A = this chain, B = another copy of it.
Amino acid sequence: MSFTIPAAARIGDPLAAIDTPSLVLDLDAFERNLELMQAKARAAGLALRPHAKAHKTPQVALAQIARGAVGVCCQKVTEAVPFVEAGVADVHISNEVVGAAKLALLAQLARAARISVCVDDASQVAPLAAACAAQGSRVDVFVEINIGQDRCGVAGAAEVLSILHVISAHPGQLSFKGLQAYQGRVQHIRPLAERREAALAAGARTKAVVDALAAQGVACPVVTGGGSGSVEFDLAGGVYTELQPGSYAFMDADYGAIEAGELRFEHALFVLSGVMSRVDARQAIVDAGLKSMSAESGLPRVWGREGVNYEVISDEHGNLRGAPLPVLGDKVLLIPGHCDPTFNLHDELVCLRGGVVEAIWPIAARGLSR
């Protein structure tokens, strides 16, 4: 026996006709975000390589590239697959890759697109080169440096040089392309002055490594990094040649809560939820919880309903409190707390313009975490 689950939305539907919960994109706000970011990168003379880990949606990447982005970043090799399949010609894997199956797929992708990847340990290099040799492909290699996040990345120029030595042993497969320097913790610092200071400190750590390498005769053609919270300072810092913001295109509640500087992006991404229980005057219960939105960065915000807050989240429910409350059957737009893991919960993105469904984009890399 088999059943057809009806589509959540059809082209031409008004917002009110979309089934809930659904992930929806305001195309006008989204496109303004893309254009603003691209204009700033262009004015600063920097390449923009938006991070596709944020959205996992090839149509989003193509919209970014159509406006001038040089390609995208992906965080995992499998994540890159639908982007290459959709015609994205230049993908940077902004992460270390360990394991034969992952490296074989990476080397295979490099036959169809320009692929770069990070290393932060000399032992990662030979297996990468061997995978490329087996596929007859080549990849660009970045050495990742630690500029304060204390996650991946080597400590400084000496460690970069010793890895470069190993990379140079595989000239047929690997080309050193430069440094990746990313400080994730800076992105979410809420006071503007404190965030600027942290971003400049991370930039200064990066510049010190670039300068030390230059003093040894090693040039870094590309220095890639930065995120949506630091991008305003990264643009002006004179260190990065390429920027990797992802969330700027959507803006989640966490990024919405940081003190904005000159560069301000709009909320473009929402979870449409429906009121499915309302048993008293204190609260209304909606049908979108942890399986529709990530909450580890904070609860969602209610959009366009002053005085109503999303106060309790459970797996499939949310308690809205305040006044005036929506009633049973009403639909409510929520700004998710954290956009990246929220995209990863949905299979499609319902795109609206002027409140009408214009397109439905598959979130084709949803769940591709290997």
| A residues apposed to B, CB below 8 Å | 1-3, 5-6, 8, 19-22, 53, 75-76, 78, 81, 84-85, 95-99, 101-102, 104-105, 108-109, 112, 120-121, 123-124, 146, 150-155, 159, 184, 274-280, 283, 285, 287-288, 290-292, 294-296, 312-317, 319, 328-329, 338, 340-341, 344-347, 366-370
Is the pair B154, A279 in contact by a Cβ cutoff of 8 Å? yes
Question: Which residues from B are CB-within-8-Å of A312?
Answer: 151
Is the pair B112, A1 in contact by a Cβ cutoff of 8 Å? yes
Q: Which residue of B lies closest to A282 (CB)?
A: B150
Is the pair A291, B369 in contact by a Cβ cutoff of 8 Å? yes
With A75-B315, A367-B347 known as contacts, the answer to whether A277 contacts B328 (CB < 8 A) is no
Is the pair A151, B277 in contact by a Cβ cutoff of 8 Å? yes
Is the pair A1, B85 in contact by a Cβ cutoff of 8 Å? yes
Is the pair A123, B328 in contact by a Cβ cutoff of 8 Å? yes
Is the pair A275, B98 in contact by a Cβ cutoff of 8 Å? yes
Inter-chain CA distance A279–B98, complex, in Å, is 14
Inter-chain CA distance A60–B305, complex, in Å, is 41
Question: Which residues from B are CB-within-8-Å of A295?
Answer: 296
Inter-chain CA distance A301–B150, complex, in Å, is 20
Is the pair A328, B292 in contact by a Cβ cutoff of 8 Å? no
Is the pair B152, A344 in contact by a Cβ cutoff of 8 Å? no
15 A-B pairs with CB atoms under 8 Å apart are A1-B85, A3-B109, A5-B78, A5-B105, A8-B370, A19-B99, A19-B370, A20-B370, A21-B370, A98-B287, A98-B329, A152-B277, A153-B277, A290-B341, A291-B340
Question: Which residues from B are CB-within-8-Å of A95?
Answer: 276, 316
Q: How many copies does the complex hold?
A: 2
A135 to chain B: closest CB distance in Å? 12
Is the pair A314, B19 in contact by a Cβ cutoff of 8 Å? no
Known: A3-B84, A98-B277. 8 other contacts (CB 8 A): A3-B105, A20-B370, A76-B287, A98-B276, A124-B328, A153-B277, A294-B296, A316-B369
A137 to chain B: closest CB distance in Å? 13
Is the pair A98, B291 in contact by a Cβ cutoff of 8 Å? no
Question: Which residues from B are CB-within-8-Å of A285?
Answer: 96, 151-152
Is the pair A120, B279 in contact by a Cβ cutoff of 8 Å? yes
Is the pair A315, B341 in contact by a Cβ cutoff of 8 Å? yes
Inter-chain CA distance A366–B346, complex, in Å, is 10
Is the pair B341, A344 in contact by a Cβ cutoff of 8 Å? no
Is the pair B341, A274 in contact by a Cβ cutoff of 8 Å? no
Is the pair A2, B276 in contact by a Cβ cutoff of 8 Å? no
A168 to chain B: closest CB distance in Å? 21
With A85-B1, A112-B1 known as contacts, the answer to whether A121 contacts B155 (CB < 8 A) is no
Inter-chain CA distance A154–B280, complex, in Å, is 9
Inter-chain CA distance A366–B292, complex, in Å, is 11
